[in-house]
């Protein structure tokens, strides 16, 4: 089934497996004349890249991206941009036992049940390696946003890793890019690192919560009823490996609130645009942006690849005990941050392109003459 | 933008506004020779229908569905099934003030900012009235599932309403359809009702959590990477009015778990199918069904239409105080239950149709000869 | 399969059968604030309507269109516009024999082989009745074009009907709407009518060629490689009942030309836009409009419903002789003209919407500073 | 705009330009466990490859295809298959004049008007080089057809090249692959070659007609109303460079026929399947296959790149005379044959996959008990 594409007008199709010759993304629908270079995209890939610190896997991929099409003289032509990342680090090993066994918590068993085959060298298509292609394509989306809708800033960060949680009172936007956990609190980094190293020593892993914010998104983008901005964002984040929940604004907490607490009150700002007393809505009402920060949060399950033995079965149905050796993150949430930023960029750009086709003179300007 | 359709092969397009002549759904992709009748669909509409009890709005719509096409001699022909529900109860009133004012927490302001127009008679397209069309179409999906994949059971229920939460130890599947709140605990109904009536007297409303379970879903349906079963389910639920969060299996709680706790262990069942020690995954691994119960949960924000005054602005930018009179649910979560069941039915059917086109001889049967 | 929709951003989904209660179109993606009324749409339906003259079937449907959603206070809201036409003229008759027999040249047999069922009351979904919904939706597209891209004129006409062919030297644009055949030559009408009446008396029918021209289409709309303007136009016309061929510009004749004859030379016009020495290309180069007239032509096969007996088989496989009684056009090409105009309007509007989302400052203006 | 994909379930996205580092196709939706190898695909690429004989351009690309993903141990995994062909022959030259000038009959001017940029090194995205990717992907489609629907044979051939036309009475299926023109008449090859060489000496080019036949297509595939088998085939062929017309079965000639001549009569065959007295329909009725040969024909315009001088303009609007030097086919119809075969394979496979999802027990079997 043709299910490897994401987006309406800005459409990204990723391809490739963890242990194949290469992986990449076909980016179709990038507007023409957007400045795009391998350097620009590499910047974001390096941010995601494994092996950069002891909190992520030691697998050491340069993850160098090549632009094979769609860019001429440093600018997008409006035709498909093909991005390729070669898999240079494919250690050969004896797959004997693991080739026959389904790893608990992994997609090995469901892929086999669906497709009737098994790429026993690793996760194959279900590996988080696929997200490298998203991050590269996210770089294209960011550049397109720069030229189409300047002033939009997209940033992701961790808010929780198992027992560790950020202190909102100490939230520091500028600290996020300064530490390996992308957390908005420099002083907390050491505690988070100690916690994670302890887990690693216990041969265990842990889940996380990641929050992504888009600032400067214009009001009025999104589309009812099934292409809502929040619908597309939920799909975008849920498509990331290991994600089990997605929240917009108040998220699950909305169930505890009363109407008198939840609805954000509206006032007229000095610049002639509406302002809100709060942002319980996460910047989205009825699937359309309000002009406030778009705030999305998601939970990532703990890595299933751990050294603690687990019960499972083989392809032939016999029982097996599984210990997943090799290079794995004790918390995949860290790696999910730049991926989620890329997905946010896809969705915002896509809806801006969709909206541009329909916008009219003074359409929907509050305070404008009828 | 053409954003009012949901689904890949089983595709539902809803149309209509809360105060227009009618609303409905165009159901394209229903397999031929499925038994479909207005009575079958009416059964589900009646379940959703407002005015049936004091916990939902007193607006009294018969919500009678008519089949205008795609069904001949009691069976689907394979061509589009057009479902129409006429809006018979459109009380005329003076819209003078409300016509100019944006109701806080509603999509009035974002629809205006996007489209530059306003259906001041009510929510228009953003009204929960639209969900009646989904429920009717859900009846078609349920019948198609019966003939294509017998044995699948889909049920939704509330697990939380503000401070009220179900006691999992007292979970009673058979009680769900026996009370106005769709809760799996008959003994708790009176407390829930007292709680809600107290809120109504306080001119307030409250949020809720709804859980939907699909039993008997075959292993192997779903599709990486962007058409995952959980991705489509997340989009399906997030598209429902007032939903702010979606969880699969452990959901947000996965962030607190360790790998050694989270991964469901696998064993071989007596019937030759794999069984799992637990269902933290919510029946989905890598976007593909495991054969366990598919479990999804979502949070609904409290109704924004309350009698408590709120600050807002008018189209001309001037300040206004809003009190939303009229017929509104103090908890829209109740009405969301049958809607969520319909969305679950859409997604499961759609992925079964997608999978059928590709399945091969003994494909992916565990224990089968290579 | 969900195959009853046409278009990318302006998306029309038709529904309904020839003998069901109603048929119609769900129009999703119409920009907001376009003036739309039932009168505007009825104008085009009346142009198509059967029974208006002796050259089309005597079946007398009022074909009154109702707008059920998406229009408020005379303007499109930006949400789906539902158009419904009730089937008021459903003569009951004895279907005994025809219910079991496949009519040669009709889709009876292939629909049965695909779907395993048969609407024996008539063509069902495959009936040309479906085109009424296209014409109504075409009225919406025309109004949207008026406001988005003023100055575009779309007109269709017959160029051939069996042995009758128009004389290009006598081409009169203004004559087209003045006769029952939509031919651009008032003086030829009587001959065409005599020819057709003779065929009717012989219990026979005949094929036709229809040409549709769009004037005033801006340069630069369309999209390589698989959403080309000519690709979408070819699909649009081929989707019309009985169409067997589609030509753009020179069409089949291009096979006879030399490069030195075929390529249209380019000059700079006084108004600063390019002009061409000829229009062999039919206004499209590389799938993108040149700014010249967009010219498409298609052939319609003769009506298969004739009184001349034909050999066929029944559902049980036994042989049968078929004479199709009832009300049928001796030349369906006449009725195809307004349908083709509607399809042209869909495609042009759709590509203008697609293009608007991407257009930049002075993008692609010849003679503009780099 | 995301317009570089073709197909519903079997979805091919091509990427790359004539003078970029590489081009290729992302094939999404190939069923799992289909035998696929670079050798299998290379076979078809070699058939198309330029420079193989004096009737096609002398540009000498090895056109070696690499499979970068989606195939493991010689079989498709069910995930995207990435095919890459590197552009090894990119002669550097002085583009000075041509960089500023629009070549008549080419998409240079419309691409510039749409995108506001120009790949002056050649056709860029609009170059026929793109079709190499289609042919490679067509190889995948052919292998999938072999395993899903054995017995289907797809063959294309030229029926006309300017004044040269095949003699149907001498039609020899086996001769097609034996000559450079893919014509079904060995004896005619020398005349065709003399004709083409004469044109080349005159610095001219000529158009052609190509016919493609699919034998053994099961009855019942295709889908009304806008995903008809003939609709998709028309779009498929019209998307090929330089195609100006598409015919199914009788094609344009249907306009000359009477109903008594055109409708194919139906009889019951000895093998229990219907047989037809003729195939005016080209194997398709109402958009669904009849089980007869599917016959499609299209016209290709003459190459616009000729040495005969033509009038045109530059980007700055000034007049220019253009002579297109370099390596160009005097008749692009020759190269279109394997491309059209690939497109036919895409459409047939796609509709077989769509149909498989919906087919039921004994559905639509003529002569079967009700």
For residue B29, is it within any domain?
A: yes
For residue B367, is it within any domain?
A: no
**How far is residue C32's CA from residue C41's CA, in Å, rounded to a whole number?**
17
Predicted pLDDT at A337: 97
**How far is residue C144's CA from residue B276's CA, in Å, rounded to a whole number?**
56
Dihedral Cα B234, B235, B236, B239, nearest 10 deg: 120
ipTM of this model?
0.95
C-alpha separations of C282 from B139, C221, C291, C343 in Å: 48, 14, 10, 17
Find all residues with CB under 8 Å of B33, minimum gap 6, and list them: B75, B76, B78, B147, C115, C116, C117, D360, D363
For residue B184, is it within any domain?
A: yes
- Interface contact C113-D364, CB threshold 8 A: yes
Residue numbers belonging to the annotated binding site of B for FMN: 125-127, 241-242, 286, 301-305, 327
pLDDT at C172 over 80: yes
**How far is residue D96's CA from residue B221's CA, in Å, rounded to a whole number?**
57
Find all residues with CB under 8 Å of D192, minimum gap 6, and list them: D161, D164, D181, D183
For residue C160, is it within any domain?
A: yes
A127 is in an annotated binding site: yes
| Structure confidence by residue, pLDDT tens digits, B318-327 | 999 998 776 6
Q: Tell me the CATH number at B44.
A: 3.60.150.10
pLDDT above 90 coverage of chain C, percent: 78
Residue by residue, what is the 3-state secondary structure of C83-128?
EEEECCCCCCCCCCCCCCECCCCCCHHHHHHHHCCCCCCCCHHHCH
- Residues C224-246: b if buried by 16+ CB within 10 A, e if exposed: bbbbbbbbbbbbbbbbbbbbbbb
**How far is residue A207's CA from residue A159's CA, in Å, rounded to a whole number?**
11
Instruction: From chain A, pick out residues whose CB is under 8 angstroms from the CB of C356.
Output: 356-358
Q: CA-nearest residue of chain A to B248?
A: A244
Closest CA to D236 of D343, D108, D85: D343
Predicted pLDDT at A112: 94
Q: How far apart are the first and last CA of chain D?
A: 48
**How far is residue C202's CA from residue B268's CA, in Å, rounded to a whole number?**
74
Dihedral Cα A90, A91, A97, A102, nearest 10 deg: -40
For residue A13, is it within any domain?
A: yes
When CB atoms are compared, the residue of C28, C72, C114 closest to B13 is C28
Cis, peptide link before residue A225, omega less than 30° from 0: yes
A289 is in an annotated binding site: no
- Interface contact D360-B78, CB threshold 8 A: no
- Token pair 């609007």 is at which residue? D317
| Structure confidence by residue, pLDDT tens digits, B291-311 | 999 999 999 999 988 888 899
**Residues comprising chain C, all counted:** 370
Q: Mean per-residue pLDDT for C240-268?
A: 96
Predicted pLDDT at D62: 77
**How far is residue D104's CA from residue A224's CA, in Å, rounded to a whole number?**
45
User: Are A86 and A21 contacting, i.e. CB atoms less than 8 angstroms apart?
Assistant: yes
Q: What SS3 class is residue A233? A: helix
**How far is residue A210's CA from residue A236's CA, in Å, rounded to a whole number?**
14
Predicted pLDDT at A59: 53
User: Are D221 and D355 contacting, i.e. CB atoms less than 8 angstroms apart?
Assistant: yes
Predicted pLDDT at C263: 86
Cis, peptide link before residue B324, omega less than 30° from 0: no
The residues pairing with D222 across neighbouring beta strands, listed in sequence order, are: D288
The residues pairing with B28 across neighbouring beta strands, listed in sequence order, are: B11
Which of C6, C36, C78, C80 to probe the B interface (max B CBs under 10 A)?
A: C80
- Interface contact D367-C289, CB threshold 8 A: no
A184 is in an annotated binding site: no
Q: CA-nearest residue of chain B to C81?
A: B15
Q: How far apart are the first and last CA of chain C?
A: 48
For residue B369, is it within any domain?
A: no
Q: Mean per-residue pLDDT for C203-214?
A: 96
β-pairing, D22-28 vs D75-76, is unpaired
| Confidence band, pLDDT 50/70/90 cuts, at residue C132 | very high
Cα dihedral across residues B34, B35, B39, B43: positive or negative: negative
The structural domain count of chain C equals: 1
| DSSP string over B122-180 | S-GGGSGGGHHHHHHHHHHHHHHHHHHSTT-EEEEEEEEETTEE--GGG--GGGGGGST
Residue numbers belonging to the annotated binding site of D for NADP(+): 48
Cα atoms in the Cβ-side hemisphere of radius 13 Å centred on A250: 28
Predicted pLDDT at A339: 97
Closest CA to A104 of A342, A284, A320: A320
| DSSP string over B38-102 | HHHHHHHHHHH-TTSSTTS--------EEE-SSEETTEE-SS-EEEEEE---------TTTTTBP
User: Are D255 and C160 contacting, i.e. CB atoms less than 8 angstroms apart?
Assistant: yes
Predicted pLDDT at B324: 76
Instruction: From chain C, pick out residues whose CB is under 8 angstroms from the CB of A354.
Output: 9, 357
Residue D362 dihedral angles phi and psi, to the nearest 5°? 50, 25
Closest CA to A300 of A343, A328, A330, A326: A330
- Chain A nearest-CA distance from B273, in A, is 9
- Chain B nearest-CA distance from C226, in A, is 19
- Chain C nearest-CA distance from A41, in A, is 22
Structural tokens at position D205? 């080019």
Residues of D with CB under 8 A from a CB of A: 1-5, 7-11, 13-17, 20-24, 26, 28-29, 32-33, 66, 68-70, 72, 75, 77-82, 84, 114-117, 119, 124-125
pLDDT at B60 over 60: no
| Structure confidence by residue, pLDDT tens digits, C264-306 | 999 999 888 999 999 999 999 999 999 999 999 999 999 988 8
| Structure confidence by residue, pLDDT tens digits, B257-272 | 999 899 899 999 988 8
- Chain A nearest-CA distance from B233, in A, is 8
Number of B/C CB contacts below 8 angstroms equals 153
Predicted pLDDT at D370: 57
Instruction: From chain B, pick out residues whose CB is under 8 angstroms from the CB of D358.
Output: 31-32, 78, 353, 356
Residue C178 dihedral angles phi and psi, to the nearest 5°? -100, 5
- C77 class by beta-carbon count within 10 Å (0-12 exposed, 13-18 middle, 19+ buried): buried
Structural tokens at position D154? 């797809």
- D39 class by beta-carbon count within 10 Å (0-12 exposed, 13-18 middle, 19+ buried): exposed
Predicted pLDDT at C61: 56
User: Are D328 and D306 contacting, i.e. CB atoms less than 8 angstroms apart?
Assistant: yes
User: Are D333 and D301 contacting, i.e. CB atoms less than 8 angstroms apart?
Assistant: no
- Chain C nearest-CA distance from D205, in A, is 5
What share of residues in chain B are helix, strand, coil (percent, to 5)? 30, 25, 45
| Confidence band, pLDDT 50/70/90 cuts, at residue C126 | very high
**How far is residue B350's CA from residue B82's CA, in Å, rounded to a whole number?**
18
How does pLDDT run along chain D (370 residues), one tens digit per residue? 579 999 999 999 999 999 999 999 999 999 999 999 999 999 999 987 654 555 655 555 578 999 999 999 999 999 999 999 999 866 556 677 778 899 999 999 999 999 999 888 888 999 999 999 999 999 999 999 999 999 999 999 999 999 999 999 999 999 999 999 999 999 999 999 999 999 999 999 999 999 999 999 999 999 999 999 999 999 999 999 999 999 999 999 999 999 989 989 999 998 889 999 999 999 999 999 999 999 999 999 999 888 888 999 999 999 999 987 766 788 999 999 999 999 999 999 999 999 998 876 667 888 876 5
Predicted pLDDT at A54: 58
* pLDDT < 70 stretches in chain A: 1, 49-61, 89-94, 326-327, 360-362, 369-370
pLDDT at C58 over 60: no
Q: How many helices (H) and strands (E) does chain B have?
A: 7, 18
User: Are B122 and B103 contacting, i.e. CB atoms less than 8 angstroms apart?
Assistant: no
Q: CA-nearest residue of chain C to B69?
A: C16
When CB atoms are compared, the residue of A1, A207, A360 closest to B254 is A207
**How far is residue B348's CA from residue C95's CA, in Å, rounded to a whole number?**
39
When CB atoms are compared, the residue of C126, C259, C317 closest to D303 is C259
Cα dihedral across residues A115, A121, A126, A132: positive or negative: negative
For residue C40, is it within any domain?
A: yes
What is the span of the domain harbouring residue C268? 5-359
Find all residues with CB under 8 Å of C154, minimum gap 6, and list them: C142, C212, C213, C214, C215, C341, C344, C345, C348
User: Are A346 and A12 contacting, i.e. CB atoms less than 8 angstroms apart?
Assistant: yes
Phi/psi zone of residue A254: left (φ > 0), alpha (ψ -120 to 50 degrees), beta?
Answer: alpha
Which of D1, D357, D362 to probe the B interface (max B CBs under 10 A)?
A: D357
**How far is residue D220's CA from residue C112's CA, in Å, rounded to a whole number?**
8
User: Are D29 and A1 contacting, i.e. CB atoms less than 8 angstroms apart?
Assistant: yes
**How far is residue D39's CA from residue D59's CA, in Å, rounded to a whole number?**
22
For residue D366, is it within any domain?
A: no
**How far is residue D127's CA from residue D137's CA, in Å, rounded to a whole number?**
18
Structural tokens at position D23? 């081009």
| DSSP string over C162-229 | TTEE--GGG--GGGGGGSTT--S-GGGHHHHHHHHHHHHHTT--B-EEEEEEEESPPTT-BBTTTB-H
Closest CA to C232 of C288, C292, C290, C301: C288
């Amino acid at each position: 089934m043709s299910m490897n594409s994401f987006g309406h007008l800005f459409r990204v199709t990723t391809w490739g497996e963890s242990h194949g010759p290469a992986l990449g993304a076909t980016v179709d629908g990038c507007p023409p004349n957007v400045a795009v270079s391998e350097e620009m995209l590499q910047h974001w890939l390096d941010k995601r890249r494994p092996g950069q610190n002891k909190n992520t896997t030691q697998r050491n991929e340069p993850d160098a991206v090549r632009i094979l099409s769609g860019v001429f003289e440093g600018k997008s032509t409006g035709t498909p941009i093909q991005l390729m990342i070669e898999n240079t680090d494919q250690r050969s090993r004896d797959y004997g036992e693991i080739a026959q066994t389904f790893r608990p918590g992994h997609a090995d068993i469901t892929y086999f049940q669906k497709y009737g085959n098994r790429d026993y060298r690793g996760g194959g298509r279900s590996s988080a390696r696929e997200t490298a292609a998203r991050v590269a394509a996210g770089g294209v989306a960011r550049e397109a946003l720069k030229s189409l809708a300047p002033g939009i800033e997209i940033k992701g960060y961790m808010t929780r890793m198992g027992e560790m949680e950020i202190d909102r009172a100490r939230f520091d936007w500028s600290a996020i890019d300064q530490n390996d956990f992308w957390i908005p609190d420099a002083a907390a980094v050491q505690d988070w690192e100690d916690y994670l190293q302890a887990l690693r020593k216990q041969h265990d892993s842990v889940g996380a919560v990641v929050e992504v914010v888009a600032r400067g998104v214009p009001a009025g983008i999104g589309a009812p009823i099934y292409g809502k901005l929040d619908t597309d964002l939920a799909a975008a984040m849920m498509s990331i490996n290991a994600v089990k929940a997605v929240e917009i604004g108040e998220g699950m907490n909305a169930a505890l609130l009363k109407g008198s607490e939840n609805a954000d009150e509206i006032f007229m700002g000095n610049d002639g645009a509406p302002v809100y007393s709060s942002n319980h809505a996460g910047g989205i009402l009825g699937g359309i942006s309000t002009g406030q920060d778009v705030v999305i949060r998601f939970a990532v399950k703990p890595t299933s690849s751990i050294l603690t033995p687990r019960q499972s079965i083989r392809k032939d149905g016999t029982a097996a005990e599984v210990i997943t050796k090799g290079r794995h993150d004790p918390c995949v949430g860290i790696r999910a941050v730049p991926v989620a930023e890329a997905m946010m960029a896809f969705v915002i750009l896509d809806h801006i392109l969709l909206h541009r086709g329909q916008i009219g003179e003074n359409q929907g300007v509050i305070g404008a003459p009828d």
